[in-house]
Structures are given as C-alpha cells and as structure tokens.
Amino acid sequence: MNTLRIGLVSISDRASSGVYQDKGIPSLVAWLEKTLTTPFQIETRLIPDEQPLIEQALCELVDEMACHLVLTTGGTGPARRDVTPDATLAIADRVMPGFGEQMRQISLQFVPTAILSRQVGVIRKQALILNLPGQPKSIQETLEGVKDADGKVVVPGIFASVPYCIQLLDGPYIETDSVVVAAFRPKSAIREINS
C-alpha cells in the first residue's frame, strides 16, 4: 500500500542556528500523531529564512522524497526576512487560494493582525504544500479550526479538507480521529476500510 509521506519544514533563522530550540516541528509531529489514524512517515527540515534554501527543501521533499503533504511553519509575515510564501509560490504548479483565505479567517478569530499573514497553499506535482504559522498554539488552531465550549467547530480548520485533496491528487486514502478533526469528503469518495 502507498504509505502517506509528510514533509515538515521549520523556517527560522534563530532556531536553525541554535539560538533557541525549534518548536514548530515537534508540535506538528505531536499533532499529526494524535490526529492521523492512517500510518505515515515523516521527513523533517530545519532551515533559515533564505528563499533559495526553502525552495530547495520543498522541491527535495516533493520531487525526491515523494511526499504527499508538506507543511511549513514560520516566515509568513510581512517582515523582510519572511519569505516562506514567496518560496512556496516560486516552486508551485498550481495555487490553492482557499487554504490561505481560511487560515487567515481562523486566525482573525484571535488576533486582528491575522490579515498580515501571507500564508499560501499550493500543489506541486503529487503534493499539497501548506504554509502554517510559527507558534504551536496557532498551528493547532489553523489545522483544527475554532471550537466553542462544547467542542463544536465554529470556524472549520484547514485539515478537514486535506485528506480529500490528497485523494484527488492520487495519494493515499487518509483517515483522521474525528474528535480532533473530521476529514470531509463527498459521499462518493468515502471508502469502507475493512478491519
């Protein structure tokens, strides 16, 4: 069976040079482990805010490591060194604008400065690449969405659409723990998994 391969890229000048410990990759790994019920493999990269290095890492994860999903964390603001979206768009085959729109929609529930985020979602070959925020709390909110006190989703997170998107790109069938985030698919795309 086609194993789900996920690339995680943390982009930070200071974390990559050892000034402080990277929090992006560990929080993404923990989130994926609690959310995905489908077996998966992870490839990680920790790199500085340098556009050529980000482009190289994304291309390597998609073209050589055959990742189906690549999640980046960090470098999505308006500061001069924030070049993650620029690098992502530079290597993209197609842009998926809905992801960026929804990520900002979620973040706006918490901070008015969410409109400063330049996060994008793109497709390169067989892979979906998504730019996530840098803070672990924001990463979780972006993926899961905004929930009320009863745990009901008020603003959908972006990960609900990821399994179906990867399925449409001929990737593996991905299942999630619906308590964390329920994967959404049209009825015709749902498969019965034999236990």
| Domain ranges across the chain | 4-189
User: How far apart (Å, rounded) are the C-alpha atoms in residues 119 and 168?
Assistant: 22
pLDDT of residue 158 exceeding 90? yes
User: How far apart (Å, rounded) are the C-alpha atoms in residues 167 and 111?
Assistant: 33
Identify the residue whose tokens are 């982009």. Answer: 11
pLDDT of residue 195 exceeding 60? no
pLDDT of residue 17 exceeding 80? yes
Q: Mean pLDDT over residues 160-172, rounded?
A: 97
Q: Mean pLDDT over residues 44-48, rounded?
A: 96
Q: Which CATH number is 4-189 given?
A: 3.40.980.10
Q: Any residues with CB less than 8 A from the CB of 32 and at least 6 apart, and which?
A: 6, 40, 42
